[in-house]
Homo-oligomer: A and B are copies of this chain.
Amino acid sequence: MSRCVLGPARAVGTDKEAAMSLRYGLLGLLAEGPASGYDLARRFQEVLGRIWPAQHPKIYAELRRLADDGLIEVDSEGPRRRTAYRITESGVAEIRRWLAEGDVDHTMRLQPLLRSLFFWLMEPDDLDRHLRREVEFYSGMAEQYSAYAERKDRGEFGTAPPVQSMRVTIEAAVRLSQALADWARWASEHQPPAGHPSTE
């Protein structure tokens, strides 16, 4: 995980492990029940669309690789050129292993962070607009999750496993989004006072 960061080389073994996020993302969704590439792309889009774009080319490619590795297998060659995959036992074992395994990589993308980091460089009006949008964004995310939970409850996603715990997951997501929205709201109420350094 992230070598090459300051200072002389520390003794470490090449990891190769970790990452492969998409691979495990697909595996996890398939653990809920069989689905086709298109289904998966849609599910990703619905649940994570705002924070993670599902790119179908990658999804189809990864599905084939997963099948080659025997972690998933063809469930049905439905009509309309729609191939559904089903997770295999070794697939379930693999994702369990991955979930249990070591550390989470908390690396984030820089771009969203920078706006917050550079509050002090922004014109008050821009900052205001920015924070208002953040509030909207995260509130919207909370709603999106709630909506998904409802659809799930109505059984719209077919033969999912007993979803008691899935509910908790989604409630957690809703709460997280709300926390973020609250934060943005706080920030917008505590904007730095005028007198920020201008271009001089």
Residues of A within 8 A of B (CB): 2, 4-6, 18-19, 21-22, 24-25, 28, 31, 41-42, 45, 47-57, 89, 92-93, 95-96, 99-100, 103-123, 126, 130, 133-134, 137, 161-166, 168-169, 171-173, 175-176, 179-180, 182-183, 186-187, 190-193, 195-197, 199
Residues of B within 8 A of A162 (CB): 195, 197
Contact between chains at A95 and B121 (CB < 8 Å): yes
Contact between chains at A106 and B4 (CB < 8 Å): no
A93 CB → nearest B CB, Å:
7
Residues of B within 8 A of A195 (CB): 162, 164
Which of B2, B100, B186 has a CB less than 8 Å from the CB of A123?
B100
Which of B95, B110, B116, B122 has a CB less than 8 Å from the CB of A118?
B95
Q: Is the interface of A mostly helix, strand, loop or mixed?
A: helix
Residues of B within 8 A of A19 (CB): 111
Q: Which residue of B lies closest to A120 (CB)?
A: B165
The 4 closest A-B pairs by CB, nearest first: A165-B192, A21-B110, A2-B53, A120-B165
